Structure 1
Amino acid sequence: MTKLKIRKIGNSLGVVLPKEVLDQLKVKEGDTLDVVPTETGVKLSISDEEVDKLMQMAERIMDENREVLRALAK
């Protein structure tokens, strides 16, 4: 288990991930992490840009077609 200390970073609070954790996540500087709530805390995983683009597209389509989707759901 790795324990991380909460630190003040500018006007925010944050944690610094040790090299071992970064290696486990297979991330490097500039990568984006997804933080997903779980029953016992949170899960960190590397963000997939292609999945993010597809999700944004799906959300836009659902927003634009909300009434049609409601009618189909009945």
Structure 2
Amino acid sequence: MVTLKITTVGASSGFILPKEAIARMKLKKGDSVYLTEAPDGYRLTPYDPDFERQMKIAEAVMHDDREILRALSK
């Protein structure tokens, strides 16, 4: 577990991720992280939850319409 402390960042408030957390999340300067609600609180992740949702929809369409997509590819 990593404890983060809220601090002043310019005119805003924020927290600083330890370098170990940044390395584990494979982040680099300029990357975005997403704070999402989870059943037991909140989750901080480098993965865009909207993109994940869109990919699941795309996979379902590709599976359901595979014959149409195959015909269109010819």
Normalised by the length of structure 1, the TM-score is 0.58
Deviations 1:16-53, CA, capped at 9 Å, x for gaps? 000111011111101111111113221111145xx28x
Q: Which of 1 and 2 has greater Rg?
A: 2
Q: Quick one: distance in 2 between partners of 1:38 and 1:47? A: 14
Q: Quick one: distance in 1 between partners of 2:15 and 2:46? A: 17
> Could you list the runs of 5+ residues in structure 1 that have no partner in the other structure?
55-74
Match in the other structure for 1:20: 20
> Could you list the runs of 5+ residues in structure 2 that have no partner in the other structure?
55-74
Match in the other structure for 1:2: 2
Give the match's secondary structure for 1:36: strand
What is the identity percentage for the equivalent residue pairs of Structure 1 and Structure 2?
35
4+ residue stretches of structure 1 with deviation over 3 A?
none
